[in-house]
Structure 1
Amino acid sequence: MPIKEGRPAMARIALIVFGILVLIVGGLAVAASLIPTETYKAEIEKQVEQQTGRKLTIEGDVGITFLPSIGAEAEKVRFANAEWGSSPDMVTMESLQVALKILPLLSGNVEISRFILVEPEINLEVNGQGTPNWQFAPMEQAAEAAPGEAAPAEEEAPAASEESSGGSGIGDISLGEVSIENGAVSYRDQQSGAVYELTQINTTLDLPSLDAPMNFDGSAVWNGDEVNLTLTAENPRVLIAGGTTAFTLDLSAPKVTTSFDGSINQGDQPKLGGEMSVDIPSVRELAAWAGSPLPEGDGFGPFNITGKVSATPEVFDFSDAELAFDGMNGTGALNADLRGQKPKITGRLDVDKIDTNIYMAGAPASSGGGDTASGGGSGGGTAPAASSEGWSDEPIDMSALNAFNADLALSAGEILIQKIQIGESALGVKLNNGVLTADLSKLALYEGAGTAKVTLNGASATPALNATFDLSGLSAYPLLRDAADFERLEGNAAMNVSVDTRGKSQKQMISALNGSGEMRFTDGAIKGINVAQLMRNVFSGALTGWNSAEAKDTDFSELGGTFTISNGILSNQDFLMLSPLIRVAGKGTVNLPQKTLSYRVEPKLAATLEGQGGETGSKGIEVPVMIEGPWAKPRFTPDLKAILSDPDGALNTIKDMDSESGKQLLEGLMGGGSSSGSSSEEDGEKKNLEDAVKGLFGR
């Protein structure tokens, strides 16, 4: 029965070994209690200074224990800063407490029962030459180097053997009470001038075993706001070995809240993967809080994003993303690349709307009432109140376009550009070094459709804009109302426009506007003006204002022309309107900066009821009218000499009317009764043309 006898023997041997260890440790403890405290302090200070070249000062008491753990405690500790540092100490702390269990070391395990830093203050600095204060020069190395010579290079350590470098050195690690109490960390970069500071740092770390979850909980104050951070790692041993383990993180602060639930890999290229969410009440406030304030202006407010993330320290990929930013909501996929001088964002987004007015300081607010981007119809016929307001002098700040670069494919349910409202659209957006290019391949605009390209250049001190539009089927009234504050025209519109401008305010941009285009309107009306009635009234005296025609409308079948714009002055030389009984030609200029016009309109009472497709050279009485003055209240004056230049045409118009009703209308306009045939035809022919014209216009 030797086996049974062997077990008590082994137990006795173990007890003997344990007893010897207890005697040794107990002896050390007794010896330590007999050694003066100043001896510990002096030796510790000496060793630290030899290894770092910096002076360590322990102003308080020092205590060392050996049972039941090897422990040390030091109070009022100071560690000197580099000579060029802004403060005399790199590290100070009220006390340091460390305790390491002895017996687990025998089996290759490390159990730290206590590691506590009380009120540590750590000052990190980089000088003007880029040298950090955590770069040390040991005294031995400095002494061996001759003056003016570099310190000798350390001998290359022999390569570790597989046995010595294997994972058999430490079986396990266990952390008990590990914490920082009321600490502070500061960072100063003398090259860039950057200064960052964390205060009121309080942390706890719980690690029962390398095979058990690690939990970290901490808080600190940054720029006046408390930041709380918690994280867990499911299997620290796998993580240390470069593998992948489950990982969660939650960070909360008044300016930002974020959470992550997935996995982490600490290999050669650290990587995160999982579900992530970020909630920022104000991007502008967050940037200022983080020490990188955005230029003054509007926008960059609330931001929220959730989705699946795959991230390295420099590249973030989001898929199945749902985001909200400045009141705009969207879904899609995004990639953020932090390499390079500026962040770059690429991907695809489907958003409900894009409101550019938010980012253009000084731009007018989007119209809240009236027709929507897809609505409008013919609109109302009420005349607007006269406006004496000019263009805004408020600065337009596009410098925020320099914050990042982007290459995005977007679809939007609505786009707002100042007062212009664009409906469902698809566009590609590229932002490169402050230049934003939006290429709209699908554009729904005021019941019509088309394509457009808009470029905003915020790269220089003076913002610039370039825009081209090719549109058809538009509702003219709401479009002109929102684009130019003009509410006098309705109908179906088609246009192509190319304009460019630059300026630091809306007023400067209007004054520098250049371009060209063509506009055609069909089946519409000029609101508030009855051209035939106007021609009758205008010769009764010069008229002022749009309402002089008794707020009636002039229907038309065709209206349009081409135009050029030079430094804010629009010139049109081929205006033409076709309407039953009326032909209107025109030419002149519109001063956009001053909101005035100087235009010659040549209405002709035509001897035909044909409208669209009718002949432009129909016979009739031409009644030229000059329209001059401000948009809101122009002045109308007649050109009598032009009317009397064709007496035969005026008389023959009445004879050549191809419709009895049209003839009656024309004669009615001339102040006569119905055509009963009782009047002598010869008397009508002998009637002096000037008297006829005067009768036509009630004079």
Structure 2
Amino acid sequence: MPSPMVKKGIWALGAAVMALVLAIALFPLVASTQIVRDRIALEMSAWSGYRVSLGAAPVIDVFPTFKATLSNVTLSDWLDYKRRPVVEAERVEIELSALAALVGNVVFSDVRLVRPTLRVVPNGPFYLPTAPGGGRIARSVDAARAVVAANPASPDLGNLPSEPFGKIEFSDGRIVVAQGDKDREVVTSLSGNIDWSSVNRAGKLTTTGIWRGESVNINLSSPNPLVLFAGGAAPVSFALKSNPTSATFEGTVNTSADSYLDGQITFNAPSLRRLLEWSQSEIAPKTAIGSIAVSGRLTGNAQRAKFEDAELTLDGNPGMGVLDVSLAGKVPSIAGTLAFETLDLKSFIAAFTPLTSGEGGAPGAIDTKFADQMELDLRLSAARATAGSIGMTEVAATAQVKNGLAVLDISDATAFGGTVQAGIRLDHNGDADLAELRMLATDIDGAIFGAATGMTDLTPTGRGTISIILKGPARSWSSLLENADGSISANFGAGELKGIDLPAFLTRASQGGFFALNEVAKGSLPINSAELKAGIANGVVRIEKAEAKADGRDIWLSGLVPYVGGGLALSGKIFPSGADRATVAPEAAFFVGGSWSIPFISPILQAPPPPG
């Protein structure tokens, strides 16, 4: 064995030889930096397919890493004589291969763009940068198209080109839309990276930016991105996250002429109102709409998509069904069938037929423009539903919007102890917007109806039927009621009228002088039946017949009730039951004035009968 001194000598000699080799290697490397400097722009152009211009000569750093720093870099289309940049950056840092540089070649590994600008132009339904006319990446895509064309269903991935790509990082960037000679900024504070070692490998895009004032994070990846660029099908994973909305997709995407996608999707918006405002949609941006979440299998293409086994949660109301979304027409259209366990109809109506509110939640303007901006055809069912304070069960309904007309029809529901049919119709056609409200409640319990609608003292407690039809201008809900035309009718069987003590009423009326109805309201009046018929014209209710039959007496009312001010202008009489009203004097005759909340009675004293 060699002695320790011999070992030390061997190590010293080896170190000296390695130092000499390294020194010999570094001399051509340093000498080649000028060659590298001259070839960087050419190599970038050959790689990207764009014309590359540098604002200054590249600065080459050898230690601690071999890299080039470029200033004021622009990439433009070779065919654009104005040389408008497709990509420009204040600074580009490129990590280079030292081994390639030894022989005067330029090979990129990692690229970092500082404050870049990407310029996009309209391209069908999307905005994309102008495609390069050549370059190694474009040639790789062309070669991949041939592979995909040979076997579209299952292309031979082993025959894909293997051109290296590397990693591109970018920071503090922006995206602008070219509009003539001017640019419109759409995305700012853009940062992230593209990680794609070679074009036949998996690739991933991770980026964050600010779009319309909100921070957006996007993650996009695929095991075969080159197949997608070549018009084939490949798995795709997509995730978007922002405060207004978040979405994910896991499935297959095909980018051929017959493009399609098939996979699981989730979508969530804590506030649909905020999402509409953020997207700058013209569809009721001021409407107070709650949260929406959708998940299920999505199949289709850029023109038409279908949600199968869709789970929809609207403002906390979960439902399931099928949705068909089409973008092929002049306006987007949604059709499908949804079944809910519970459904808040107010939230649902607000989501699809927007009804805005004024200050403090007061009735405000009715936005009918949405009826020209979308098409909707939904079949709905719900085990339980609410409309404000009104509860319903076993609800079947439809919601339709088309050609300026919006209709929500409840074709069948159980409510107030009976059955209910109701509808809202908004018509945006013609010279003026029109609205129509209608309700038919059959065999209902008057006590339940009165409690739910806040009309306990006006509704008999027996079972009966109520029909209401209102039509008028759709400027606002208040103007609709102020100017509505229509009708009201009701028929009730045996029950009670609350808030009236008839003996006390007759005694007080016989004494003369007006008095408040609440002075004789400590009681209830048993009745055998009650009937109401009224017409509505320009917001004024004209009572044609209001009659209640009690034991021994018939009570009759007629007159006017204008909506504005809530005033009363009624006259009434009380007759003995079955009396001939043409020949028999009433037991009491009176006027009713004041308002619905505080009615006043003004008796009409009857002349004494002539002496016999």
User: Under a length normalisation based on structure 1, what TM-score does the superposition of the two structures give?
Assistant: 0.67
- Structure 1 match to 2:206: 217
Pick the aligned partner of 2:486 from 515, 518, 542. 515
1:362 aligns with 2:357: yes
Structure 1 position 197, deviation (Å): 1.5
CA distance in 1, matches of 2:412, 2:360: 25
Alignment-mate amino acid for residue 205 of structure 1? D
1:75 aligns with 2:40: no
Deviation per residue, 1:230-265 (Å, 9 max, x gap): 333245576567554433222222222222222233
Query: In structure 2, do the counterparts of structure 1 residues 288 and 629 end up closer, same or farther at CA, with 3 Å as the change threshold?
Result: closer
Gaps of 5+ in 2: 1-24, 101-105, 134-144, 151-155
Gaps of 5+ in 1: 1-24, 66-70, 104-110, 139-160, 367-391, 609-614, 648-687, 690-699
CA distance in 2, matches of 1:617, 1:112: 111
What SS does the corresponding residue of 1:340 show, helix, strand or coil?
coil
Query: In structure 2, do the counterparts of structure 1 residues 503 and 176 end up closer, same or farther at CA, with 3 Å as the change threshold?
Result: closer
Contact 1:362 1:505 (C-alpha < 8 Å) held by counterparts: no
How many residues align? The count is 550
Identity %: 17
Query: In structure 2, do the counterparts of structure 1 residues 607 and 536 end up closer, same or farther at CA, with 3 Å as the change threshold?
Result: farther
Query: In structure 2, do the counterparts of structure 1 residues 461 and 223 end up closer, same or farther at CA, with 3 Å as the change threshold?
Result: farther
CA distance in 2, matches of 1:303, 1:602: 55
- Structure 2 match to 1:406: 376
Structure 1 position 283, deviation (Å): 2.4
- Structure 2 match to 1:685: none
- Structure 1 match to 2:113: 118
What SS does the corresponding residue of 2:162 show, helix, strand or coil?
strand
- Structure 2 match to 1:548: 519
Pick the aligned partner of 2:575 from 571, 593, 604. 604
Alignment-mate amino acid for residue 436 of structure 2? N
CA distance in 1, matches of 2:203, 2:36: 40
CA distance in 1, matches of 2:359, 2:500: 29
CA distance in 2, matches of 1:448, 1:266: 55
Alignment-mate amino acid for residue 283 of structure 1? L
1:452 aligns with 2:447: no
What SS does the corresponding residue of 1:489 show, helix, strand or coil?
coil
Pick the aligned partner of 1:59 from 43, 56, 59. 56
Structure 1 position 334, deviation (Å): 0.7
Query: In structure 2, do the counterparts of structure 1 residues 84 and 485 end up closer, same or farther at CA, with 3 Å as the change threshold?
Result: farther
- Structure 2 match to 1:145: none
Query: In structure 2, do the counterparts of structure 1 residues 238 and 541 end up closer, same or farther at CA, with 3 Å as the change threshold?
Result: same
Contact 2:555 2:574 (C-alpha < 8 Å) held by counterparts: yes
CA distance in 1, matches of 2:217, 2:421: 49
Pick the aligned partner of 2:546 from 533, 555, 575. 575
- Structure 1 match to 2:507: 536
CA distance in 2, matches of 1:90, 1:203: 15
CA distance in 2, matches of 1:623, 1:398: 50
- Structure 2 match to 1:637: 602
What SS does the corresponding residue of 1:624 show, helix, strand or coil?
strand
- Structure 2 match to 1:308: 297
- Structure 2 match to 1:441: 411
Pick the aligned partner of 1:466 from 413, 436, 450. 436
Structure 1 position 556, deviation (Å): 0.7
CA distance in 2, matches of 1:272, 1:133: 20
Structure 1 position 270, deviation (Å): 2.6
CA distance in 2, matches of 1:137, 1:172: 18
What SS does the corresponding residue of 1:173 show, helix, strand or coil?
coil
- Structure 2 match to 1:379: none
Query: In structure 2, do the counterparts of structure 1 residues 529 and 337 end up closer, same or farther at CA, with 3 Å as the change threshold?
Result: same
Structure 1 position 499, deviation (Å): 1.9
Deviation per residue, 1:53-112 (Å, 9 max, x gap): x782331426699xxxxx984511332889999999951241152758999xxxxxxx98
Q: In terms of mean alpha carbon deviation, does 282-291 or 535-544 score higher?
A: 282-291
User: Under a length normalisation based on structure 2, what TM-score does the superposition of the two structures give?
Assistant: 0.75
CA distance in 2, matches of 1:221, 1:426: 43
Structure 1 position 474, deviation (Å): 1.8
Query: In structure 2, do the counterparts of structure 1 residues 87 and 593 end up closer, same or farther at CA, with 3 Å as the change threshold?
Result: farther
Structure 1 position 559, deviation (Å): 0.8
Query: In structure 2, do the counterparts of structure 1 residues 418 and 505 end up closer, same or farther at CA, with 3 Å as the change threshold?
Result: farther
Contact 2:41 2:53 (C-alpha < 8 Å) held by counterparts: no
- Structure 1 match to 2:174: 185
CA distance in 2, matches of 1:224, 1:363: 26
Contact 1:401 1:436 (C-alpha < 8 Å) held by counterparts: yes
Query: In structure 2, do the counterparts of structure 1 residues 505 and 484 end up closer, same or farther at CA, with 3 Å as the change threshold?
Result: farther
Query: In structure 2, do the counterparts of structure 1 residues 422 and 85 end up closer, same or farther at CA, with 3 Å as the change threshold?
Result: farther
What SS does the corresponding residue of 1:509 show, helix, strand or coil?
helix
Contact 2:41 2:52 (C-alpha < 8 Å) held by counterparts: no
Deviation per residue, 1:166-221 (Å, 9 max, x gap): 789965426574122315232235489964114232113144673x6444433334
What SS does the corresponding residue of 2:356 show, helix, strand or coil?
coil
1:334 aligns with 2:306: no
Alignment-mate amino acid for residue 443 of structure 1? A
Contact 1:178 1:204 (C-alpha < 8 Å) held by counterparts: yes
Pick the aligned partner of 1:92 from 69, 89, 93. 89
Deviation per residue, 1:296-347 (Å, 9 max, x gap): 5342332211111113122221111111123332211111112333221110
**Hey, which of these two has a bigger chunk of strand by percent?**
2
- Structure 1 match to 2:260: 271
CA distance in 2, matches of 1:311, 1:317: 6
Alignment-mate amino acid for residue 502 of structure 1? P
What SS does the corresponding residue of 2:519 show, helix, strand or coil?
helix
Query: In structure 2, do the counterparts of structure 1 residues 553 and 365 end up closer, same or farther at CA, with 3 Å as the change threshold?
Result: farther
1:566 aligns with 2:537: yes
Pick the aligned partner of 2:244 from 241, 255, 272. 255
CA distance in 2, matches of 1:98, 1:618: 111
Alignment-mate amino acid for residue 564 of structure 1? G
CA distance in 2, matches of 1:259, 1:582: 71
- Structure 2 match to 1:499: 470
Contact 2:208 2:217 (C-alpha < 8 Å) held by counterparts: yes
CA distance in 1, matches of 2:332, 2:392: 29
Q: In terms of mean alpha carbon deviation, does 28-37 or 524-533 score higher?
A: 28-37
CA distance in 2, matches of 1:99, 1:57: 17
Q: In terms of mean alpha carbon deviation, does 479-488 or 467-476 score higher?
A: 479-488
- Structure 2 match to 1:281: 270
Deviation per residue, 1:532-553 (Å, 9 max, x gap): 4311221113342222225111
Structure 1 position 348, deviation (Å): 0.7
What SS does the corresponding residue of 1:353 show, helix, strand or coil?
strand
Query: In structure 2, do the counterparts of structure 1 residues 393 and 41 end up closer, same or farther at CA, with 3 Å as the change threshold?
Result: closer
Alignment-mate amino acid for residue 545 of structure 1? A
What SS does the corresponding residue of 1:547 show, helix, strand or coil?
helix
CA distance in 1, matches of 2:379, 2:557: 44
Contact 2:458 2:497 (C-alpha < 8 Å) held by counterparts: yes
What SS does the corresponding residue of 2:258 show, helix, strand or coil?
coil
Structure 1 position 365, deviation (Å): 10
Contact 2:166 2:198 (C-alpha < 8 Å) held by counterparts: no
Structure 1 position 585, deviation (Å): 2.7
CA distance in 1, matches of 2:52, 2:111: 22
CA distance in 2, matches of 1:57, 1:302: 50
Alignment-mate amino acid for residue 485 of structure 2? N
Pair member with larger Rg: 1
Structure 1 position 584, deviation (Å): 2.0
